[in-house]
Structure 1
């Protein structure tokens, strides 16, 4: 997947500014694809150059004109082509998991501190996903079925990670207990 496809997905139903797209990345597609404001604006420029999106200027008082982007027929064709193609397996890059894999070179207290930080982030993300899903459930889940299904995946991922974190904590605490009960030689 590329950023271009994520942007085209967001533009498939309505026009949006770069700022709107960045906000949507934070609230929906960001569950599965991260992008900075700068990356979004750069990609919008490329998509415009390739005639996959067009924009219109909206004058604003005291601010630069806003650009509202919309998908073109060429963009829809590209999105359709991409949607029909099998997805590549996701690449995983998780620095914390590498730290866990190398945990024998660290002390349990250091790992637990970082685990706690990661757990806080995951709980916050889970709360956000659950709130968004509840809002869709209450209002228009059928209309936004695919957004809802994406949120459900995010919810399940976070719940699973949190269960795994509990296992890690228990294992590390047991490791610490065993280390402290081993008599030291004189």
Structure 2
């Protein structure tokens, strides 16, 4: 997947500014694809140059004009082409998992500290995803079914990670007890 396709997905139903898109990355598509403001604006420029999006200027008092982007027919055709193509398996790049794999060379207390920090972030993310899912439920999830299904995947991922973190804590605490009693 590329950033261009994530942006086209967000623009498929409504026009949005670069700022709006960045906010949507934080609240929805960011579950599965991360992008900075700078990356989003750079990609919007490329999509505009390739006639996949158009924008209109909205004058603002005391601020620069806002650009509202919308998908074009060329952009919609590209998005449909991409949606019909099988997705490549995701690449995993998780530095903390590499630390766990090399954990025999580290001390359990430093691993547990980092595990707690990671778990705090995961719990925060889980609460955010659950709140968004509740909001969609209240509004009628059928209206945004695919966003809801994406949120459910995010919720399950966070829950599974937290369950795994509990297993790691148990195993490392048991290992510590065995090593001190030996």
Question: Structure 1-normalised TM-score?
Answer: 0.97
* Aligned alpha-carbon RMSD (Å): 0.4
Distance 2:8 2:70 in 1: 9
Secondary structure of the structure 2 residue equivalent to 1:83: helix
Superimposed CA distance per residue, residues 114-171 of structure 1 (whole angstroms, 9 cap, x where no aligned partner): 0000000000000000000000011120010000000000000000000000000000
Partners of 2:101 and 2:39 in 1: CA distance: 32
Equivalent residue number for residue 135 of structure 2: 135
Query: 1:55-95: per-residue Cα shift (whole Å, max 9, x none)?
Result: 00000011100000000000000000000000000000000
Matched residue, 1:154:
154
Q: 2:102 maps to what in 1?
A: 102
Instruction: State the partner residue of 1:41.
Output: 41
Q: Which runs of 5+ in 2 are unaligned?
A: none
- Point out 4+ residue stretches in structure 1 off by more than 2 angstroms: none
Residues 6-63 of structure 1: CA deviation (Å, up to 9, x unaligned):
0000000000000000000000000000000000000000000000000000000111
Q: Which residue of 1 aligns with 2:167?
A: 167
Note if 1:4 corresponds to 2:4.
Answer: yes
Aligned-pair distance for 1:178? 1.1
Tell me, what secondary structure is at the counterpart of 1:13? Answer: coil
Q: Distance in 2 between matches of 1:47 and 1:82?
A: 15
CA distance in 2, matches of 1:126, 1:16: 26
Query: Could you tell me which residue of structure 2 aligns to residue 83 of structure 1?
Result: 83
- How many residues matched? 182
Q: Distance in 2 between matches of 1:49 and 1:21?
A: 18
- CA–CA distance in 2 between the matches of 1:158 and 1:32? 12
Could you list the runs of 5+ residues in structure 1 that have no partner in the other structure?
A: none
Secondary structure of 2:54's aligned partner: strand
TM-score, structure 2 normalization? 0.99
